[in-house]
Copies of this chain bind each other. A is one copy, B any other.
Amino acid sequence: MTSELLLPALNAARKGKEEGGIPIGAALFIDGTIVATGHNRRQQLGSVIRHAEMDCLEHAGRLPAGSYSQATMVTTLSPCEMCTGAILLYRIPRVVIGENRNYRGAEDLLLQHGIQVDVLDDPACVLLMEEFMTDYPTLWNEDIGML
């Protein structure tokens, strides 16, 4: 069963799928309280920067460093270089990843910077992404700069 921590991100990913978008979702928690969710909106907004984690940070708005330092970024899929860079910029100390079977982003870079990385290997996240990558390989590869 999907953990409660992961559920808001997974629901955001499913919302993205319903919108015809790439089904990746994220949620930002501060001191255990959820402050924002986001989902990939490449298709919906024609955006190349609105990956789920970026969309989530944007929704959370301008926060002081003292809030980011207490934050956890939860994402359904292993974060790419861009989203990893945003996590590093704002010094978010913990990242919870739904799965990294379908794509493994820049986790090593997170670890090198002392960020706590927890990979949940959640079957619902794996299935959602697996189906999407099978059905829309072109869109997926565009999203990770491969096509």
* Contact (Cβ within 8 A) B62 A42: yes
Interface size on A, residues (CB 8 A): 33
Chain A, 23-69, CB within 8 A of any chain B CB: 42, 46-49, 54, 57-58, 60-65, 68
Complex: A89 Cα to B63 Cα, angstroms: 25
Complex: A131 Cα to B54 Cα, angstroms: 30
Number of copies: 2
Q: Which of B47, B57, B82, B91 contacts A89 (CB 8 A)?
A: B82
Chain-B contact segment, one of A4-12, A96-104, A138-146: A138-146
Q: Could you give 21 example pairs across A and B, Cβ below 8 Å?
A: A42-B62, A46-B61, A46-B62, A47-B58, A48-B60, A48-B61, A49-B54, A49-B57, A65-B146, A65-B147, A68-B145, A80-B89, A81-B85, A81-B86, A82-B86, A83-B85, A85-B85, A85-B86, A89-B145, A90-B145, A109-B109
